[in-house]
Amino acid sequence: MILTSDLTKGNIRKQLIALSVPLIIGNIFQQFYNTTDCYIVGQCVNQYAFAALGIAGSLMNLFIFMINGCCNGISIVFSQLYGQRNWIELKKETFLSLIIGIAFSEILSICAFLFLDVLLIFIQTPLEMMSYVKDYLYIIMSFLVIVFIYNWCSAILRAIGDSKTALYILIISMFLNIILDIFFVKNLCYGVKGAAIATIISQFFSAILCFLYIRKVYPQLLFSKNEMVFDKQLIKKTMSYGFVSALHQSSLYIGKLIIQGTVNRCGLDVITSYTLTMRIEGFINSFGDSGCVAISILVGQNIGAGKSERVKNTFIIGLKMMIILCICLSIIMIIGTKPVTYLFIDGPSIQIINNTFYYILIISFFYIFCFIGNCFVGFYRGIGKVNIPVIGTILHISLRVIISILLIEYLQLPAVALATGIGWMCVVLYQYIYFNLKIKKTDKCNNNFFHIFRKI
């Protein structure tokens, strides 16, 4: 039963590109959900509402990326089973992961409602923005299960090498989101509530469409009554991969929330600048995150198929491609920052312009370490070492928070950029040391695998 392209043979570079490009475009369009909301609200409401959506976005991403991380972990299980051509276990996994994921997303929704006020106070949300943030988040957090279903469908498609379909569906829903944003925010004057309603309707549309596509085109992947089995070993593996990957994402965004709280003490203009930088960084992170996922899928399938040489070559080729891509994107970020600032804010102050530009300028010089780190994360996830990215992220966030708190009074927003860059450098150092001490020693993939950096 061959369902789609076989990633255990063929040209690795072409396969990485074929996987990455739809993921990159998809991630960029995913960013547009909140970015579109920010732009239309910024133009149709006021600067307070615009800045509030930046704060809301940080909180929203904490929960959404936990779900996304869970689905990334599940995708590794899918890809390994697909690489083994173990169809029965694959069907069991679709059932178990769907049940576990729905329960997980519902628990997150409940936690979001229970602790939203505490989180808003914790990150020192200004009182004049509090109502805007709550109006937006109460609607978004009520429907996290929709976010899971779409990401779960995407995880299945990615694992078998089909990364295009989810992209096409996402593009359609993105344009729907823009139309609904204009309708609810501009025409009906619903403000931030209208932006949230538009987002939920669009995400519901994409989730349903994606599921129906899998049901029609790849019915072999979906479980029947016979595969609705609570296999203890598969449950353990699914929860391990899914929850550890979710922890990886949540630890990252908990740190970002703490930094958001530090930024929130600096006034409206600095909060506005930080909101802008997050939109800009969302663009370049789309490339790094997509490359990471593509590497993990390719590595996962080949680990499942027992092809260690292709695992090694996937990492080498992926690392080279990511470094070149990062250099190009960093230059684009520096050049494009000021025009983007004027695009989002009508008549921005000198403080907004300077804080935004110098933040991007500083962090652009460190982004190469971020992309190298993404390659390591993709590799470690693919071979099943999902705990290593979590440790790296905790290290990164700890340094980022401490340095930001210490320096923001003196450097303002550029302090966060410097702290982030230093954190990335330390994570790459940790990942490289672990690679040499553990992967080299156990030698699971290839006798010469530890020589990869000599080939670059």
Please tell me the least confidently modeled range out of 34-48, 119-133, 378-392. 34-48
- pLDDT tens column, 305-340: 788 888 888 898 999 999 999 999 999 989 988 888
For the cut 60, the answer to whether the pLDDT of residue 355 exceeds it is: yes
Residue 456 pLDDT: 36
The pLDDT of residue 447? 45
Nearest to 261 by CA among 135, 362, 401: 401
Q: What is the pLDDT of residue 6?
A: 64
The residue type found at 191 is G
Quickly tell me which residue has 């078998």 as its tokens: 160
373 contacts: CB under 8 Å, gap ≥ 6: 392, 424, 427, 428, 431
Whether residue 5 lies inside any domain: the answer is: no
Check residue 366 and give its pLDDT. 93
The answer to whether residue 3 sits within a structural domain is: no
pLDDT digits (tens, 9 = 90+) for 149-199: 988 988 888 777 777 787 788 888 888 888 898 888 878 877 788 888 888
Mean pLDDT (the chain) is 82
**Mean pLDDT of the 367-392 span:** 88
Mean pLDDT (whole number) for 220-236: 82
Provide the pLDDT for residue 426: 94
The pLDDT value recorded for residue 427 is 92
DSSP line for 253-292: HHHHHHHHHHHHTT-HHHHHHHHHHHHHHHHHHHHHHHHH
State the residue for tokens 């929850």.
Answer: 243
- Give one DSSP letter per residue of 332-348, joined into a string: HHHHHHHHHHHHHSSS-
Q: With bands split at pLDDT 50, 70 and 90, how would you rate the model's confidence at 370?
A: very high
Asked if 359 and 273 touch (Cβ cutoff 8 Å), the reply is yes
- How far apart are alpha carbons 83 and 249 in whole angstroms? 26
pLDDT tens sequence across 196-218: 888 889 889 989 998 999 888 88
Residue 7 maps to a domain:
no
**Whole-number pLDDT of residue 440:** 58
Query: Rounded distance, CA 260 to CA 125, Å?
Result: 9
State which of 23-32, 344-353, 428-437 shows the largest mean pLDDT.
428-437
Residue-wise DSSP of 50-98: HHHHHHHHHHHHHHHHHHHHHHHHHHHHHHHHHHHT-HHHHHHHHHHHH
Assign 262 a pLDDT band (cuts: 50, 70, 90). Answer: confident
Residue 26 and residue 315: Cα distance in Å, rounded?
A: 23
pLDDT for 10 equals 82
Identify the residue with better confidence: 73 or 422: 422
> Where is pLDDT greater, at 409 or 375?
375
Q: What is the pLDDT of residue 451?
A: 45
Q: Which two tokens stand for residue 368?
A: 């190469």
Whether 313 is covered by a domain: the verdict is yes
How much is the pTM? 0.71
pLDDT over threshold 60, residue 291: yes
Whether 280 and 417 have beta carbons less than 8 Å apart is answered as no
- How far CA 88 is from CA of 154, 231, 316, in Å, comes to 20, 12, 33
Greatest CA separation for the chain: 65
Question: Which range marks the domain in which residue 447 is found?
Answer: 12-454
DSSP 3: -
| Dihedral (CA of 6, 9, 10, 11) sign | positive
Position 403 confidence tier, pLDDT thresholds 50, 70, 90: very high
Q: What is the mean pLDDT of residues 86-114?
A: 88
In a domain, 2, yes or no: no
Q: How many distinct structural domains can be found in the chain?
A: 1
pLDDT given for residue 34 in this prediction: 63
pLDDT at position 446 is 46
Higher-pLDDT residue of 5 and 40 is: 40
Which of 49-53, 104-108, 137-141 is predicted with the least confidence, judged by mean pLDDT?
Answer: 49-53
Mean pLDDT of 381-398: 84
